[in-house]
Amino acid sequence: MEPVIQIKDLNKSFGDNHVLRNFNMAINAGENLAILGKSGSGKSVLIKCIISLMEVDSGEMIVLGKDIQLLNSDELDSLRAEVGFLFQSNALYDSMTIRENLEFPLRRHWSKEERKKGADAAVKEALEDVGLSHTIDMMPAELSGGMRKRIALARALILRPKVIMYDEPTTGLDPITSREISNLMLSVQKKYKSAALIISHDLNCIKMTSNRVIMLIEGTRYAEDTYENLRKSEDPKIKEFFD
Amino acid sequence: MGTVKLLKQIDNAFFREVGEIAQFTARFFQTVTKPKQEWEEFINQCFWVGYKTLTLVGITAFIMGLVLTIQSRPTLVEFGAESLLPSMVSVSLVREISPVITALICAGKIGSGMGAELGSMRVTEQIDAMEVSGTNPFKYLVVTRVLASTVMVPILSSVGIAIGLCGGYLGVNIRGHISWNLFWHQAFEALSFGDLIPSLIKTFFFGFAIGIIGCYKGYNSKKGTEGVGQSATTAVIVASLVVFVLDLIAVQVTDLLGLT
């Protein structure tokens, strides 16, 4: 089976700071892959390179069978409809209601007719998926951190993406809400049968949601295994994370 | 040596910024011509630009018209030219006062608003979220705002002229007496297309410059919340300065074309 995302020899640096060095990885359909690493290890840079929010220095990135560096802006926009992205800061549009936030991705990918017929139902279903139907006419500022995270997830889901990328999905949340978000990520994957790339340093989240973990240390793929196997590792650099 | 190095750094930063603004402007023209315009957002922005500044422009223009009349009166009386007050006020308001004052108010209100809003969207990843959702954030956020300020500043300036003349009418009637109809007749009689057209044209440029600078500062905001504040402040300063420079150029061009 062809991987949904394949990264080959990816390099990215900011001046003299080499953030990613010859990084390789692949995610298969329906799989949840977690990238574990310290703050500043290049996790968020990696995920932003994959969605083409940042340019890479060298390397190959195949997303859903397409080399994203060879796509023009229209092709890239079409591809982005199939890739959901949950931002660390949620990135909800402050000046829009929750309904408008969720409808926003539809305006580019659905025709006016399609939006007229189906936008309302799509918004309601996405909100039901995250258990926040009652917030539809509220503003983001009226919601708690956990609720905002759920709404951001609903927005990432509205186009039914084949891959969802989570950038630190539980950062800044209390342990109970973090667990709720992790459970939500699992239920979403079950419903939409999507693959997921989870960037995190929250071990509980990674334990709950991932099938496989890549450890990113100093911009390189240091280790790759299941969460349980990595936890049992005697390698001091890996142990440091789990102690 | 230290001073030379410092001056060189300031020079470099200045020219780099000028270059970046030129690139940003070029990107605006490339994007604005691409199909699928964001008309709904453009109308929305026009409403906000007008709504945010109309009261301020109105009050300021009224006071400027009033003060200009009151302060000019003694000099004109000395030369026995008191009857020229309506003409003088209208020419001053149309040619210079209303366009420049409106532009400065817009630079303060709209420029800082755009700088802060887009800056905040940049640092909270909202602009990235738009890009990821397949919407061109430059077209949705920048093009609509720049077009809105380009269209609205001339309209606001025209409203400012009308309100300023009302202030002038009041100013004339504080010490003397002139009928409403006569005042407006004299005010319009003194004006020619050579006054109105250059004034209108330069306000389009003012509006465009305010929009471009406000959006450039916000769109390229960095350094978190501190950066947002910096974007808002520098947007006002740079836009105000550019308004004066454009005004100077406009005066020279008008003079060269013999329209004065």
Residues B222-251 pLDDT 10s = 877 888 888 899 999 999 999 999 999 998
Residue A243 has pLDDT above 90, yes or no: no
A1-82+161-243 fold: Rossmann fold (3.40.50)
The stretch B60-77 carries a mean pLDDT of 93
Domain ranges of chain A: 1-82+161-243, 90-160
Residues A88-107 pLDDT 10s = 889 999 999 999 999 999 98
Judged by CB atoms closer than 8 Å, whether chains meet at B128 and A108 is answered as no
CB A84 within 8 A of CB A75: no
Determine how β-strand A58-63 pairs with β-strand A163-167: unpaired
Residues facing A199 on adjacent strands: A35, A167
Size of interface A-B (CB pairs under 8 A): 48
The stretch A205-213 carries a mean pLDDT of 91
To the nearest whole Å, the CA of B240 is away from the closest chain A CA by 27
Return the pLDDT at B138: 93
Residues of chain A contacting B140 with CB distance shorter than 8 Å: none
Residues A17-40 pLDDT 10s = 888 999 999 999 889 999 998 888
Residue A69 has pLDDT above 60, yes or no: yes
Residues A70-79 pLDDT 10s = 998 888 888 8
To the nearest whole Å, the CA of A186 is away from the closest chain B CA by 22
Domain ranges of chain B: 38-256
Judged by CB atoms closer than 8 Å, whether chains meet at B128 and A91 is answered as yes
Residues of chain A contacting B126 with CB distance shorter than 8 Å: 91-94
Query: In what helix (H) or strand (E) does residue A199 lie, and over which residues does it extend?
Result: strand A195-200
Sign (positive or negative) of CA dihedral A53, A58, A64, A65 = positive
Question: Measured at the alpha carbon of residue B171, what is the angle toward residues B167 and B177, in degrees to the nearest 5?
Answer: 120
